[in-house]
Amino acid sequence: MSDGRFQRWSASFPLTRPFARHSAGRLFDLCAGFVYSQVLYACVELKLFDHLARAPMTLGELSTALQLPLESTRRLIDAATALHLTARIDDERIGLGEHGAALLGNPGVAKMIEHHAMLYRDLTDPVGLLRGEKTSTELGRFWAYARSAQPSLLTEDQVAEYSDLMAASQSMIANEVLSAYPIHRHRRLLDAGGGQGAFIAAVAQRAPDLELVLFDLPPVARRAQRQLDQLGLSERVQVVGGDLFKDSLPEGCDIVSLVRIVHDHNDDEAHTILSSARRALPRGGTLLLAEPMSGTRGAEAMGDAYFGFYLMAMGSGRPRTTADLARLVEAAGFEQPRVIATNQPLLTRVMTARVSS
């Protein structure tokens, strides 16, 4: 396939031409991916999809609404339409395209797209990152716990932005996890690294009889407490502030969830967290892991390319295959690791494991 003559032949021969075109298109997408992302970023920053959600608009109306010159509006809309973010309704009007409409339904994705500006600045020198030459990154500062020796001393200011981002993207994850796993069968759940309570609030709705405990760093726990108070859940959820690496997890629960936690950490730290969860659980207790995983069929690029490089820029952790995770949970003393199918494995996969009874 690297031979120039073969490439020319396969592009001109009628039977191989479709494959050659498809392959060239995919390679071009790899070359141009950053440009596509920037088109999307511009749409999100300009709130283009929110404008179009009300009604289709003409170029002139959009130019006024977006405060862009008419020619720039045309350029943006041409690019966005080519990427199925917008669509031409007729000769005059532009509406939402397939992806633009999907984005509107998931506000957490728009927040991630805005957040990516930081990631892309860190990735301007990927080789430097791979060589470990660039030790200070924007993502490293954003995820303040990732490189902190004493994360429990972080201030609320240092955790606010990442906690809000996690909360904004949590509803999609919670929906996946709770549709896949019958959490109501349990008696008391501990959500370790539970952020400001978005997952546990979703659990509270699904399983009205389940007792709930949330554990996170003290400044995050304070934010969680305020959120849960506002949602009227303070009676149902016990909030505990602490450090996963220094403090024992609260006991008395029959299930511990780790949602988007393990991939943030290197193997030694992941082992410490899982062992701590194991100690907190009684015989027969359940571990529930939920995160995007490496080697997910049909979403390999998400795990191995996107998360692999994202976590490298953050400075800690790696995406793991189900086999890697099974080894880790077994090394921490759990048994019967089991992958549970989710509807959108791209967003999250779920693994459970048990303490022997």
Ligand X SMILES: C[S@@+](CC[C@H](N)C(=O)[O-])C[C@H]1O[C@@H](n2cnc3c(N)ncnc32)[C@H](O)[C@@H]1O
| Interacting residues with ligand X (CB under 6 A) | 145, 151, 159, 166, 170, 173, 193-195, 198-199, 216-217, 220, 243-245, 259-261, 264
**Which H or E element spans position 57?**
strand 57-58
Which residues face 94 on adjacent strands? 57, 88
Nearer to ligand X, 138 or 243 (CB): 243
Least gap, CB of 150 to ligand X (angstroms):
9
Least gap, CB of 238 to ligand X (angstroms):
15
- Cβ count near 332 (within 10 Å): 19
> Per the structure block, which two tokens stand in for 251?
């006991």
Least gap, CB of 220 to ligand X (angstroms):
4
Q: SS in 3 state form for 286-298?
A: EEEEEECCCCCCC
Nearer to ligand X, 242 or 333 (CB): 242
Least gap, CB of 314 to ligand X (angstroms):
10
What are the two backbone dihedrals, phi and then psi, of residue 37, each rounded to the nearest 5 degrees? Answer: -60, -35
Nearer to ligand X, 43 or 191 (CB): 191
Q: What is the CA radius of gyration of the chain?
A: 23
Residue pair 196/173 in contact (Cβ under 8 Å)? The answer is no
Residue 193 CA, chain-centre distance (Å), reads: 15
Least gap, CB of 213 to ligand X (angstroms):
13
Nearer to ligand X, 85 or 177 (CB): 177
Nearer to ligand X, 166 or 255 (CB): 166
> Of the candidates 240, 68, 71, 236, which has an alpha carbon nearest to the alpha carbon of residue 152?
240
Least gap, CB of 122 to ligand X (angstroms):
17
Half-sphere exposure of 269 (CA within 13 A, CB side): 17
- Cβ count near 321 (within 10 Å): 14
The dihedral sign for the CA sequence 29, 34, 37, 39:
negative
Nearer to ligand X, 20 or 289 (CB): 289
Residues in the chain: 357
Q: What is the CA angle 178-342-280, rounded to 5?
A: 55
Nearer to ligand X, 56 or 242 (CB): 242
Least gap, CB of 170 to ligand X (angstroms):
4
